[in-house]
């Protein structure tokens, strides 16, 4: 497939890897720094610190105020952003090719020279408190946070990215600096760029800008502290018209390739208008407006699930129908369904790689995880290799694991909905 031959990777003396892909049709360059440290890398007393650090990076450095950071990149038509996930944190920018030196310099400045001023820290804590409150007020978001907390009970992988008001209040500038020095090291970082970029020029700019970066470690601690799927049930009462629910099972990590049948299974179950859940739950029964199946793969584990919202009176029937569809997928998934799911996956994958932003994220994450960029034809081949037999086996394996049920909404009698309904032998 076109484009993969334009990928180049260089490792700097401090361990920072620089990867880029020139996209000849692009007039802009999207660039960023990915760090193999997210919310799951926090100690118990650091819960929410990765996210707070991401916010504080834009609040001023030794040479730029928060306003100057924004004005300088926007003066050349560019933009800058950041995000914290469970396993990664990233800082990104976009600019014209001729303004690449400025974009690189700003990214280096916010990561190496942030000042963490007390007044800015206090304001940003207030902003994050509003984020936390917004999740609590959004049941279709909250139900997934509760789900992950139940799936990985008592483990960093299951904790909400935003932290809690109590942990947030305990953080100061020294807390942030300690976390920064521990995790933001050359061996755990990748600088990536895609679009109108020359690799040699990029390497020269990054080498100079990130020269002060400490080497640190290369080995990802996630691989030596594996998470454990626990399962169970959690219900949160809320005055809502709908009941929001997520049901789930143990999945597979993305590091060994065994997740592909589960990804295809998720597409067969809920990946489009022709999927089993859409046809049975919405079209045939009208039990939900939207229903989704997913497989979230992490470095060392994964989780397969189904999420939906329904009228409280319909929830027991909805759960039983979803489980019936999943059990049936373990027996009757056809080659035609799998072929359709594989095609949907490939279009989604390749479509996301047609923009510099989409390509940038894949470059960075693959180099962080695998030490290389996986060619598109290799990924497509792995998807094409998934058979109907493998998908059926994946469904049966999922059903054999302990179930998880998360719900937010009005009270539903336990007699009408039991965790046992989510087992392989539950009610049909």
CA distance 117 to 49: 16
Q: Single out the residue of 201, 195, 205, 206 nearest to residue 21, CA to CA.
A: 195
Return the closest-CA partner of residue 263 out of 362, 363, 344, 367. Answer: 344
Residue pair 252/262 in contact by the 8 Å Cβ criterion: yes
- Cβ(342)–Cβ(386) below 8 Å: yes
| Number of Cβ atoms within 10 Å of the Cβ of 131 | 14
**Would you tell me how many other CB atoms lie within 10 Å of the CB of residue 242?**
20
Per annotation, catalytic residue among 21, 42, 54, 252 = 54
Three-class SS state of 107? helix
Whole-number Å distance between alpha carbons of 298 and 309: 25
**Residue 234 Cα distances to 132, 225, 310, angstroms:** 19, 25, 17
What is d(CA 319, CA 309) in angstroms, rounded to the nearest whole number? 11
CB of 26 within 8 A of CB of 356? yes
Mapping DSSP to helix (H, G, I), strand (E, B) and coil, where does residue 102 land?
A: helix
- The alpha carbon of 221 is separated from its chain's Cα centroid by a whole number of angstroms, namely 18
DSSP helix/strand/coil, 202: helix
Q: Is 389 labeled as catalytic in the residue annotation?
A: no
- How far apart are the C-alpha atoms of 279 and 63, rounded to whole Å? 58
- The residues, any chain, with a CB within 8 Å of residue 200's CB and separated by 6 or more, are none
State the DSSP string of 21-62: EE-TT-SEEEEEEEES--GGG--GGGTTHHHHHHHHTTS-BS
The encoded tokens of residue 97 equal 């090719």
Q: Give catalytic residue positions.
A: 54
């Amino acid at each position: 497939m076109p484009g993969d031959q334009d990928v180049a990777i260089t490792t700097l003396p401090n361990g920072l890897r620089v990867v880029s892909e020139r996209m000849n049709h692009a007039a802009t360059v999207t660039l960023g720094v990915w760090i193999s440290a997210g919310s799951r890398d926090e100690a118990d007393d650091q819960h929410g610190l990765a996210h707070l650090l991401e916010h504080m990076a834009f609040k001023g450095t030794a040479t730029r105020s928060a306003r100057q950071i924004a004005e300088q990149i926007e003066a050349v038509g560019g933009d800058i952003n950041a995000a914290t996930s469970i396993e990664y944190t990233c800082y990104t920018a976009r600019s014209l090719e001729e303004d690449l030196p400025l974009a690189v310099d700003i990214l280096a400045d916010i990561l190496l020279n942030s000042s963490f001023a007390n007044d800015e820290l206090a304001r940003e804590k207030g902003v994050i408190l509003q984020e936390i409150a917004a999740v609590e007020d959004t049941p279709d978001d909250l139900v997934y946070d509760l789900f992950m907390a139940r799936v990985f009970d008592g483990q960093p992988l299951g904790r909400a990215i935003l932290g809690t008001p109590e942990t947030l209040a305990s953080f100061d500038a020294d807390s942030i600096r300690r976390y920064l020095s521990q995790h933001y090291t050359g061996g755990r970082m990748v600088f990536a760029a895609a679009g109108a970029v020359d690799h040699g020029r990029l390497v020269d700019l990054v080498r100079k800008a990130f020269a002060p970066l400490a080497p640190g470690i290369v080995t990802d601690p996630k691989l030596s502290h594996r998470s454990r799927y626990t399962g169970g049930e959690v219900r949160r009462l809320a005055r809502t018209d709908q009941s929001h629910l997520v049901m789930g099972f143990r999945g597979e990590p993305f590091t060994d390739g065994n997740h592909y049948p589960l990804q295809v299974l998720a597409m067969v179950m809920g990946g489009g208008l022709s999927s089993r859940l859409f046809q049975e739950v919405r079209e045939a029964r009208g039990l939900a407006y939207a229903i989704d199946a997913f497989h979230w793969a992490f470095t060392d584990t994964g989780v397969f699930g189904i999420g939906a919202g329904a009228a409280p009176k319909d929830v027991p029937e909805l759960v039983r129908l979803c489980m019936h569809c999943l059990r049936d997928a373990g027996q009757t998934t056809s080659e035609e369904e799998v072929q359709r799911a594989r095609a949907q996956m490939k279009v989604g994958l390749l479509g996301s790689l047609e923009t510099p932003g989409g390509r940038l994220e894949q470059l960075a994450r693959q180099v962080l995880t695998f030490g290389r960029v996986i060619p598109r034809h290799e990924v497509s081949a792995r998807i094409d290799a998934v058979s109907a037999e493998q998908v059926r086996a994946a469904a049966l394996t999922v059903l054999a694991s302990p179930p998880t049920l998360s719900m937010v909404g009005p009270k539903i009698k336990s007699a009408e909905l039991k965790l046992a309904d989510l087992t392989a032998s539950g009610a049909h």
